[in-house]
Amino acid sequence: MASNWEASLPHRPVLYHEIIHALRPHHTGLYIDGTVGAGGHAWGILHASAPHGQLLGLDLDPVAIALARQRLAEFAPRVTLVQASYTTLRQQAAQLGWTAVDGILLDLGASSMQFDNAERGFSFQQDGPLDMRFSPLASRTAANLVNQLPEDELADLVYQFGEERQSRRVARAIVAARPLHSTTQLAAVIAQAIQGKRGAIHPATRTFQALRIAVNQELDAIDTVLPTALQVLAPGGRLAVISFHSLEDRRVKRYFRQESQDCLCPTEQMLCTCEHQASIKLVSRRALQAGEQEASQNPRARSARLRVAEKL
């Protein structure tokens, strides 16, 4: 059963107990929550690291920072919140004089708060502008991509970031229907374009995912932050990453596997020439997933995958 504080949050933290167990907060530790959101996971880390543990919380979304500041007010002397990308976590930690930290959490992708706010344009379930920006300071919106990209580039984007097999058909329909201004307009065009029996997900799901990833350059950000996070971790410190779709999880899995090996030479090569040394060990060989109870209470948790690595 959720505690009172969990029940009061606008965003229920996914895999909350698993995260706290994985990061092992202690009373003198330094921690970074790279996607602080409404402060759910951060609350748990600060609570478990009392009385002296400190946390740096980052988020591109000013609404999330405001919610986290309210949620974490009781820990004010021990928490610092900054509106910034997790790709800058090394610089942000340096601003506090932190050269090494004991734990880092990354909760990738958009939050349920963003999906639930129609004005943010992340969801086709309710009408809103084609925005999809994590940060209002970003210049490019989903409307820019939908209405300005050449058809072939739009199709490639939908295929690459949405894994949509009918990307060519989708792009052709979007270009023919331009200009498009709202989420429901776009979803209707996609639904009309994709023929045949609908599966378990809405026909627009993959295209909306692709646009969101492109607008926020999410995959590039993951590739940037993983090595940066390892640089900031102290020996014995842990990096926990929650992903919500295969494109994210593949990147995390591949990087963790690479950095947990002493040699990256081809298997057929008899002698190692790469001189690569493992920098982490995997805390669990397979990704952790939400239990049945959490998945039933929080639908977003069903697709969550948690991977944890410890720095050597």
pLDDT in tens, 260-272: 999 888 888 888 8
Q: Rounded CA gap, 129 and 24, in Å?
A: 41
Helix (H, G, I), strand (E, B) or coil at 145: helix
Measured CA to CA in angstroms, residue 155 lies from 16, 192, 219 at distances of 37, 16, 18
- pLDDT at position 300 is 83
Q: Which among 176, 111, 97, 185 has a CA at the least distance from the CA of 142?
A: 185
Average pLDDT rounded to a whole number, residues 186-197? 87
- pLDDT exceeds cutoff 80 at 179: yes
* pLDDT of the residue at 241: 98
Q: Which of 3-7, 27-31, 102-106, 275-279 has the lowest mean pLDDT?
A: 3-7
Over range 123-145, report the average pLDDT.
96
State mean pLDDT over 47-59.
98
**Token output for 242:** 């929650």
- State residue 198's pLDDT score: 60
Average pLDDT over residues 40-55: 97
Give the tens place of pLDDT for each residue, 153-172.
999 999 999 999 999 999 99
pLDDT over 80 at 111, yes or no: yes
Position 196 pLDDT exceeds 90: no
Residue 63 pLDDT > 90, yes or no?
Answer: yes
Using the predicted structure, report yes or no on whether residue 146 has a pLDDT greater than 60: yes
Average pLDDT, whole number, for the chain? 93
pTM over 0.75: yes
CA atoms within 13 A on the CB side of 273: 6
Confidence of residue 11 (pLDDT cuts 50, 70, 90): low
Say whether pLDDT at 10 is over 70: no
- Please give the average per-residue pLDDT across 277-300, as a whole number: 92
Q: Which domains are seen in the chain, by residue range? A: 4-107+218-311 (3.40.50.150), 114-216 (1.10.150.170)
Instruction: Give pLDDT tens digits for 197-254.
Output: 566 789 999 999 999 999 999 999 999 999 999 999 999 999 999 999 999 999 999 9
What would the pLDDT profile of 76-104 be if each residue is shown by its tens digit?
Answer: 999 999 999 999 999 999 999 999 999 99
> Could you give the CA distance from residue 29 to residue 44 in angstroms, rounded to a whole number?
13
Q: To which H or E segment does residue 305 belong?
A: strand 305-311
Residue type (1 letter), 201: I
